[in-house]
Chain A
Amino acid sequence: MGKRDYSMLGPDGARAVEIGLAAAEWYHTEVPRKQMKELMQRSDSPAIRDSVILFGCMILFAGLGIYLWPSWWSAPFWLAYGVLYGSAMDSRWHECSHGTAFKTPWMNNLVYEIASFCMMRNSATWRWSHARHHTDTYIVGRDPEIAVMRPPEFFRLIANFFGVFDSIAAMQRMVYNTFLGVHPEEKTFVPQSEWPKVVRVARISFVIYAATIALAVWMQSILPLMVIGLPRLYGAWHHVMTGLLQHGGLADNVIDHRLNSRTVYMNPISRFIYWNMNYHVEHHMFPMVPYHALPKLHEAIKHDLPAPNRSIAEGFAEMWPALKRQLKYEDYFLKRDLPTTAKPYREDFHAAALGAVATPAE
């Protein structure tokens, strides 16, 4: 495969459609219907419990940060608040976009709107981009949510631990949507009936940020921005750290999530922030299973999946050298061994689709 074109309007997307990679039927592990129905069952209580803890901690930490401002003693509270705002909101945005966090639809929608705002994502646009991410996961030119493109831009990846490029791009897009309407790329995956909503959401966000900046100017202090806006930068590191592990260094242009997604065992705090999305192969294979049931799903299908990484550090130790190698060899990817109990990868199909260089993960 030659140089990749990640544009939604470019030749790689057209090629994916032409050869049947787009909207394809993906591999999934067989799970008995009765068991899958149990795993898919919705409940409000786990997400209400987690939301009370999350928003309670955010109010507490921001309150202490404001109280101690401008002393350096406020710093630990801002760091904690920032991670909840700039990282935990990413997983809330994600799970609520699927409608699986809560059983009650309005609760999903409420948390989705709050989380989208915190993450500087247009709630109307991103609902559709994420649907495409699940249809065409890491299909070049089709998936608008590819976090690590090839060759990897390490400066950009590292800068995004502090939300730099993501925030700049989000602000530019918000201004574009506010004054010029829906962007041509967005029109490739957002239905026309939703375009007015895209513009309305952008304008609401624009007004909130403008009011926050006006308050900061009036107070002659960045304190209002420490509460709204800046936490998307100083608290982004955790969601970038976990997000890179989702697909980084693995295959693209395949239709088996075992080849392009990674499950990583994590500590309980990271799992709370990440809402169990460390079970990422499981999530992609069965996106209707709520976050609180993913550990059970993992137990049910792990015989058919590559062995999970045992920690975040181990995941990075596997991924980072692969990304570095992709600087020279764009087609390189990690191919993780399957256990003997698993159904094999469809080598014939993926070899034809990729024509790429795969190396078994050590």
Chain B
Amino acid sequence: MPQWIDACATDDIDEEDLIRFDHAGATYAIYHSPEGDFFATSGMCTHEAVHLCDGLVMGHLIECPKHNGQFDYRTGEAKRAPVCVNLKTFPVKVEAGRVLIEVP
């Protein structure tokens, strides 16, 4: 049953950056776009088991810190080898300065 989870405060993440959020044995990445919007994806690269939270956000791309594969974090689309499999994304909403993500 999907549920909305309080992940962080909006000012916990710099613009054009991300943080890691762990919940119920799963790891997520929460993004703050240059336009001020928030997004959420699974926290691990689909190429190999590497946390994306150490990677670099460039515009709407997140680059994996290990092999430099890139995803569009808004859609999860794999954009640069060696990643071939898209990243799972999760709905996000902001309420009273808090970022909430909907997780399965």
Q: Chain B, 33-60, contact with A by CB distance < 8 Å: what is the 0/1 string?
A: 0000000000000011100001110100
| B80 and A100 form a contact (CB under 8 A) | no
- Total residues of chain B contacting the partner, CB 8 A: 19
Q: For the complex formed, measure the closest distance between the CB of A316 and the CB atoms of chain B, giving whole angstroms.
A: 30
Q: Is B98 an interface residue (CB 8 A)?
A: no
Taken together as a complex, chains A and B put the C-alpha atoms of A20 and B39 apart, in Å, by 33
Q: Is B9 an interface residue (CB 8 A)?
A: no
| B58 and A100 form a contact (CB under 8 A) | no
The 8 Å CB contact of A287, one of B47, B67, B80, B84, is B67
Cβ contacts under 8 Å, A193 to chain B? 84
Taken together as a complex, chains A and B put the C-alpha atoms of A191 and B48 apart, in Å, by 13
**Residue in A closest to B85 when the chains form the complex, CB atoms:** A191
Cβ contacts under 8 Å, A99 to chain B? 63, 68, 70, 80
| B48 and A23 form a contact (CB under 8 A) | yes
| A288 and B48 form a contact (CB under 8 A) | no
Q: Is the interface of B mostly helix, strand, loop or mixed?
A: loop
The 8 Å CB contact of B68, one of A25, A194, A287, is A287
**Residue in B closest to A197 when the chains form the complex, CB atoms:** B81
Q: Is B91 an interface residue (CB 8 A)?
A: no
| B66 and A134 form a contact (CB under 8 A) | yes
**Residue in B closest to A288 when the chains form the complex, CB atoms:** B65
- Total residues of chain A contacting the partner, CB 8 A: 22
Contact (A98, B81) CB under 8 Å given A40-B56, A42-B58? no
Q: Is B72 an interface residue (CB 8 A)?
A: no
Taken together as a complex, chains A and B put the C-alpha atoms of A99 and B80 apart, in Å, by 9
Taken together as a complex, chains A and B put the C-alpha atoms of A235 and B24 apart, in Å, by 56
Cβ contacts under 8 Å, A49 to chain B? none
Q: For the complex formed, measure the closest distance between the CB of B71 and the CB atoms of chain A, giving whole angstroms.
A: 13
| B17 and A37 form a contact (CB under 8 A) | yes
Contact (A131, B58) CB under 8 Å given A287-B66, A287-B68, A288-B65? no
Cβ contacts under 8 Å, A209 to chain B? none
Identify the B interface with A (CB < 8 A).
Answer: 17, 47-49, 54-56, 58, 63-68, 70, 80-82, 84
Identify the A interface with B (CB < 8 A).
Answer: 23, 25, 36-37, 40-42, 98-100, 105, 127-128, 131, 134-135, 191, 193-194, 286-288
